[in-house]
Structure 1
């Protein structure tokens, strides 16, 4: 959307933490020796920490207003308006309260075993130039949160969600509301690559990050052919080279390398492996939002049957890193689609159908853990409380036969 215990099968590298694909290459245990993957066939079952380190105003308008950012489209715009010092203080309060250690404990109590942590390149503050405006001081809170998650035995996917100059237009998830995304050029690739090197070294050196086994090099790039082609040819291969160079420098055993994650072919930015000479520990991210899929007939029965047959296997291993229970805007307010108790049975079955399909691959990470929308279709925490998502996955209804 964050020291110290050791895991079974840790490498013998003094002072270095290990990385792995959870439950597959290596098991993990919590500080109190619980293995959250032991009973789920090594599938990822997780949540995104949306709006924790990159705030998306639509998810929490009240919190955004309380931060002094009301009416601002993105973090960049808010910091520009507030000034650096005031913004740093305001964002620090948010980072310390949006996701807490109690939230981490609650996730574990619901049977979840993974978190995906969206961050922006500005977390490494020396990459931010004088014309850019982002909150400062976030690294301390990322370390703390990852420490809590590691103690709890959660697997962590670190996700470069906001790239330099933005990778997609007019979207707050990039941290800036840029109408002309400028990421797709050499100088911006270089800034992102420096971020990845820095993050990879911290992951291997700092114990708080010991459960980070996957580093996603870019969230939701554009599907524009020229820009996507440049990214595949230039950025992806260099991301592999630079991350592996860090691991070589640190003498990390190859079995403890980070998994390097890219969006899969189904996302629409082409085949991410096209120019990769080395695909060792490559991993893939698929995002599945029925809300924006106009090809699926919007009926309860069809949503369930389509989800049961959904094939998300354009690359492997794939994690469906974002999905929700949200529906198209045209149906959003209809009585038989509203997120209330009357429709809970449908949403419960649809959740089970999507889980069925996504666990044919490596698993899933729901978007997102919490919101202020009063809508359980976007909030895992609210959906559990509404009885739409079970606390015990063994009680999931077999809707796919």
Structure 2
């Protein structure tokens, strides 16, 4: 029996290894096809998970005992209010419960190929940049990296998904908004202090090195929604420097975003920025929401805008391949008619066919998502048939 057990064990090991090799081959092909522009990213953001946002996770234990006026300012202010004695456990429970393996299974079953995962600078567990606030990262609940490891090394490979990391929250904040977890809410200090930029360079290089050999690692969005007081020249130099550091050891995808108000085909000289063939595996990122600036628009006007203006803007872009990193079908219009909401979603999907880099919807779900008519929740919109892939 002993020899039979060994023999059976070797057979099972061989089968397991074969499955692992096959799965890696599938991921390698997918990853390279996306990088080469043969297929677009078609995916979703795991918003509110490793960079918590109160407005979409109100039912989470992360916010227990936290007044809304503090919670709405982001993770830094929340942890400062709670302290580690309470906050560490609450954020652990949030990370454990909000996104699980089942979500990756469902995303894959919905015929998507990519998850975009927002992270904050504190995920590295260090800050060697010097300057002000060298211990700011210590305010946050520790061990977020364990969840990113699990996503990239276990869950994504298991369901043939690739992961794009989004550097959502930089030291000093690049936009002052809650999703950048600012220590000074409403203010953006990232681009005004060299130590902040150095910290971000260290962090994106560290992440790229950590995951470079993982089959499910697609790349990094180098900075999410830079705006506020961020100087354009500092932002562009940061992208140059990040590219230089990472290209020493990796050809992963690198995503650059212009300032938030420059997300159109004619708004700036970004069309000629870091152009091939001298630069490669770069995507240019837009976030196109038909919400702010569209207040009071009715359903037909929003649908018409997506079918015409949005589609034309995407098709007019001539720089690095375009990637729509965030969009949704939430709006100020009521969309009481199911067919209208379905048409609205399809109009945006049709417009984004012109984006060679593809798209990732914001966001996958809300905490305790009940499947209601929530245009921010891709899970709910797919389950109700409003988004059809």
The interval holding the TM-score normalised by the smaller chain is: 0.7 to 0.9
- Contact 1:189–1:235 (Cα < 8 Å) also in 2: yes
The one of 52, 56, 60 aligned to 1:59: 56
- Contact 1:22–1:44 (Cα < 8 Å) also in 2: no
**Deviation of the 1:52 alpha carbon:** 0.6
In 2, Cα distance between equivalents of 1:82 and 1:200? 32
Match of 1:172 in 2: 178
In 1, Cα distance between equivalents of 2:205 and 2:32? 22
- Contact 1:344–1:388 (Cα < 8 Å) also in 2: yes
**Deviation of the 1:307 alpha carbon:** 1.1
Counting only pairs closer than 5 Å after superposition, residues 135-154 of structure 1 correspond to structure 2 as 135-146=141-152, 147-154=154-161
The one of 235, 238, 246 aligned to 1:235: 238
Match of 2:197 in 1: 189
Question: Quick check: 116-125 or 279-288, which moved more?
Answer: 279-288
In 1, Cα distance between equivalents of 2:29 and 2:203? 18
Match of 2:305 in 1: 306
Answer yes or no: is 1:366 the counterpart of 2:361.
yes
In 2, Cα distance between equivalents of 1:388 and 1:56? 25
**Deviation of the 1:6 alpha carbon:** 3.6
Match of 1:320 in 2: 324
**Deviation of the 1:346 alpha carbon:** 0.9
Counting only pairs closer than 5 Å after superposition, residues 152-167 of structure 1 correspond to structure 2 as 152-167=159-174
Query: Aligned pairs, how many?
Result: 345
- Contact 1:369–1:379 (Cα < 8 Å) also in 2: yes
Q: Deviations over 1:260-302 (max 9, x none)?
A: 10115842784447664842111111110000134x9823223
**Deviation of the 1:106 alpha carbon:** 0.9
Q: What RMSD over aligned residues (CA atoms) do the two structures have, in Å?
A: 2.9
Counting only pairs closer than 5 Å after superposition, residues 285-364 of structure 1 correspond to structure 2 as 285-294=285-294, 298-309=297-308, 310=311, 311-312=313-314, 313-328=317-332, 331=333, 337-338=334-335, 342-361=336-355, 362-364=357-359
Tell me the secondary structure at the aligned position of residue 97 of structure 1: helix
Tell me the secondary structure at the aligned position of residue 224 of structure 2: coil
**Deviation of the 1:148 alpha carbon:** 0.2
Tell me the secondary structure at the aligned position of residue 283 of structure 1: strand
In 1, Cα distance between equivalents of 2:67 and 2:61? 6
- Contact 1:159–1:216 (Cα < 8 Å) also in 2: yes
**Deviation of the 1:174 alpha carbon:** 0.3
Q: Tell me the TM-score normalized by structure 1.
A: 0.78
Judging changes above 3 Å, is the alpha-carbon distance between structure 1 residues 49 and 367 closer, same or farther for their aligned structure 2 residues? same
Q: Deviations over 1:66-124 (max 9, x none)?
A: 54434322111111111124322211111111011111111111111111000001101
Judging changes above 3 Å, is the alpha-carbon distance between structure 1 residues 150 and 26 closer, same or farther for their aligned structure 2 residues? farther
Greater share of helix = 2
**Deviation of the 1:359 alpha carbon:** 1.7
Match of 1:199 in 2: 207
Answer yes or no: is 1:211 the counterpart of 2:216.
yes
In 2, Cα distance between equivalents of 1:286 and 1:109? 26
Answer yes or no: is 1:267 the counterpart of 2:256.
no
Q: Deviations over 1:333-380 (max 9, x none)?
A: xxxx15xxx422111111111001112213211100001575421001
Question: Quick check: 76-85 or 175-184, which moved more?
Answer: 175-184
Q: Deviations over 1:35-83 (max 9, x none)?
A: xxxxxx7232111001010111111212156544343221111111111
In 1, Cα distance between equivalents of 2:160 and 2:337? 34
Judging changes above 3 Å, is the alpha-carbon distance between structure 1 residues 370 and 22 closer, same or farther for their aligned structure 2 residues? farther
- Contact 2:24–2:157 (Cα < 8 Å) also in 1: no
- Contact 1:229–1:270 (Cα < 8 Å) also in 2: no
* Consecutive unaligned residues in structure 1, runs of 5 or more: 11-16, 28-40, 248-256, 332-336, 394-401
In 2, Cα distance between equivalents of 1:165 and 1:386? 40
Judging changes above 3 Å, is the alpha-carbon distance between structure 1 residues 183 and 270 closer, same or farther for their aligned structure 2 residues? farther
Tell me the secondary structure at the aligned position of residue 316 of structure 1: coil
In 2, Cα distance between equivalents of 1:75 and 1:9? 35
